[in-house]
Structure formats: structure tokens, C-alpha cells
A and B are shown apart, each in its own frame.
Chain A
Amino acid sequence: MKRILVSTLTLLAFLFLGYSCAEEEVETPDDLVFHSLVAEKDTIAPGESTTIKASATGSSLEFFWDATLGDIIGSGSEITYVASPCAVGTNEISCKVTNGNQWETKSIEITVYE
């Protein structure tokens, strides 16, 4: 009985170590640098659009976009922001970039005038 218990614990220890090693192998380096977030135009009329580009370097980057009002068309490092008359005013567009390990956020303001 004691031998079975020792064998089981040894096997679990190996499995745990193996899992931990596997985890270490996929660790992402701390190499994220979010350089800039730039809009083609910072003022648009309802119905118009502007391109917004996020410039970042790092491994396996993902870009997350959010606008207080107005619509984001597309995804990735470059999107198009369009605004309906519902979005008149100054709206903040945020981009969060992550490499899975680190993340950084930048925001810009686009004014939609009547």
C-alpha cells in the first residue's frame, strides 16, 4: 500500500514538473512597445470617417479598440472610425495592445461636429 502511494506521488510530481516546464516554454517575452496612436483626421462630420493607426512592436500582438461613441470598422492595428449624428461631440477612441504578458493603452480624441 505504501509503495503504491509513493509511486502515485512520484508520478504526480513528474506530471507537475512536466506541466511547469511546458508552461515556461510558451512564456511571452516582455517586448511590448506601444509607439503611437495616430488619426488621419481629428475632426469629422457625421457620416465621414477617419483612419486610426496603432504603431506597436512586440511578439504576438493583439489590438483591442473602444470608442465612447461612434463606430469602429475593422480590427487589428489599423481601423476606420465612422460617426453617425448620434456621436456628435468629442469622443475618445482607445486602443489597448497586448502581447499576452504585458499591455499598454493609448487614447485619442476625435471631434464629430454638427
Chain B
Amino acid sequence: MTKKIFLYSLGFLLLFFIEAVFRPISVFGVSPMYVLCGVSAMGILEKEKFGAIFGLIFGLLCDFTGGSLFGSQALVFMITGFIAGTLSEITLSKSFFSTLVITASSIIVFGGLKSLFYIVLNEEEPLSVLLYIMLPKFLLTLPFSVLIYFMLKFLQKISAPNRERKKRKKW
């Protein structure tokens, strides 16, 4: 369990640094939400507890980078991780497609709400917000949700080899 948490934490730290420090991809100043993808995948793979806790911790880290309102990303990531975990137990299968659906829904729902506030508070044109923030964010993030799902699945695999090996030896 400790090994699993350690490996996941390393994976999430990597995602955080890619998003906040390295930023290899950026269109109109918007970069993919790697951590959100990780949280969705975590919820799908490891159920709601892991999803919510990792969402909260790494959401707070993302908030530190100077987002709009401190705590907003933590809240969104935590809820996303929790919902992903809960839905994976009820309806969704444990596949990359589910991660894709959860990530897309999170961007649309929470991003949509944020867009509304942004448009009202800053008197911005809705089309500009859609074209220059929401759309690039959506299109850039989705492909990575698949990649990150497989990365976390790999970490899940290598974090539990001892038990499997022991089982094999017994047989």
C-alpha cells in the first residue's frame, strides 16, 4: 500500500511539474490539465477515496501556482476524483474511455460555471472565452487523459507485484 501511494504521488508530482513548470504544450496561453486527467484516472482505477484525496492534495498544489481563486481547483479536482470513483463502482467500466468521459464532463461542467462567472465579472465576450480558453483547454486535455490513464495503470501494476509473485510461487 505504501509503495503504491509513493509511486502514485511521484506520478502526480511529475504531472504537476509538467503542468506548472515545464509546460511543453501551450495554445493561447492555455495548457492541458494533466493533474485533472490524473485525478479522473485515479478515481476510475482506485475508487473514490484515492480519487478525492489525490484530487484535494494536488488541487491545492495547482492552486498555489496562482489561479483565479485559491481552493477552486482543489474543490473541483476532489469532486471529480470522488465522482469518478463512485461512478466506476456503479456504472462506468475501468477503462480509458471512462477517464475520458469523466475528464470531459469535469471540464465542461466546472469550466462552464467558471466561464459564466468570468463573463459576468470581467464583461468579456462569451465567444472569446469559449474560443480562447474553454475550447483549447478541452481539446488539449482529452488526448492526455488517455495517456495518463495508462501511465497510472502501469504504476498500479508495478506497485503490486510482490503479492502476485507470492501467489504464483504458492501455486
User: Do A and B actually bind?
Assistant: no
Residues of B with Cβ closer than 8 Å to A? none
